[in-house]
Amino acid sequence: MVVASVAVLSVLCSGHPVPGHHHGGGGVFVPLNPHFYDHSCPQMHAIIGAIVAREHAKDPRMAASLLRMHFHDCFVQGCDASVLLDADGSGRFTTEKRSNPNRDSLRGFEVIDEIKAALEHACPHTVSCADIVAVVARDSTVLTGGPGWEVPLGRRDSLTASLSGSNNLIPAPNDSLPTIINKFRNQGLDIVDLVALSGAHTIGDSRCVSFRQRLYGQNNNGQVDRTLNPGYAAQLRARCPASGGDQNLFALDLVSQFRFDNQYYRNILASNALLSSDQILLTQGRETMELVHRFAADQGLFFDQFAKSMVKMGNVLPLTGNAGEIRNNCRRINH
């Protein structure tokens, strides 16, 4: 595990919200703080860490799934555990689990349930689901060989979810670079954050349906993506046909699928990125291209920036103070 530099840690520990962003829950904003549960639930980190490690040992894909859950939570009305809410039959909101980015692909909800049950047993009505998701993302990164960071805490859980937000705000694999930049900017995240956080694709899988157009062109027009290595494309076509096989899984990093490292950026330089949204970091923008080169050459630099950017993303629009609630069950609101 690479420990962030002292300068980075001073930023990580400050727990400041993203500039210009305030939660929408009324009341006074309370800055997030890594020590939020030191007295109310001192065993929180140990309980979460043990369960994440056990699940990771059972399923090496789980770390990437849990890291992705935090992204998909924070990009929709802030880091508020809205992504965990099931449809409740009330008609007050529509679950985000059925959105295009999440349906048939977001997973790991049972791990969050298991952690929540253990924490409710140890420290009832204390630790929020939103904080669980944030800590789990850090633990998943560390377990796969990535950097660690202190997670600012004190988020509370939303009373609503947003299907439309999930469909429209989360970057998609076929988005153009300007669209992706705008989606990050909407969250208070800049181009450095975008390129560093995209590096989470050093672990995990993607489905055939998410990159098929690179192999066969839009609407199967035969216009193969010229920025994809032809040898790699041929390999992908073997299990990702022009139609059918939508859910077939492929490693996002063909070299070190289960290891959190900077290989993702090296793959981009070799035209071996799986998703269009990854390859265009090299081909559609000068600033993003320079960052890809820098992170490919220096894993320590990438790790430091990834940790910084994860803390920054984790500070997007948290509900704090008396806003929202501490859910008893992460899948539903209390009342």
The residues carrying an active-site annotation are: 72
Give the whole-angstrom CA distance, residue 107 versus residue 105.
6
Q: Is 82 annotated as a binding residue?
A: yes
DSSP class of 66? H
Handedness of CA 25, 27, 28, 30 (dihedral sign): negative
SS3 251: strand
Q: Is 80 annotated as a binding residue?
A: yes
Q: Is 42 annotated as a binding residue?
A: no
- Locus of tokens 């539903």: 332
Q: Is 78 annotated as a binding residue?
A: yes
Q: Is 202 annotated as a binding residue?
A: yes
Contact of 317 with 79, CB cutoff 8 Å: yes
- According to DSSP, the residues that pair with 325 across neighbouring strands are 157
- Locus of tokens 């806003």: 323
Q: Is 157 annotated as a binding residue?
A: no
How many residues are listed for the chain in this entry? 335
- Locus of tokens 């030191």: 38
- According to DSSP, the residues that pair with 33 across neighbouring strands are 153
Give the whole-angstrom CA distance, residue 201 versus residue 151.
21
Q: Is 39 annotated as a binding residue?
A: no
Helix (H) or strand (E) holding 139: helix 129-143
Contact of 294 with 306, CB cutoff 8 Å: no
Backbone φ and ψ for 89, nearest 5 degrees, come out as: 80, -5
Q: Is 298 annotated as a binding residue?
A: no
Contact of 76 with 316, CB cutoff 8 Å: no
Q: Is 141 annotated as a binding residue?
A: no
Contact of 135 with 45, CB cutoff 8 Å: yes
Q: Binding site: residue ranges?
A: 73, 76, 78, 80, 82, 96, 171, 201-202, 253, 261
Q: Binding site for Ca(2+): residue ranges?
A: 73, 76, 78, 80, 82, 96, 202, 253, 261
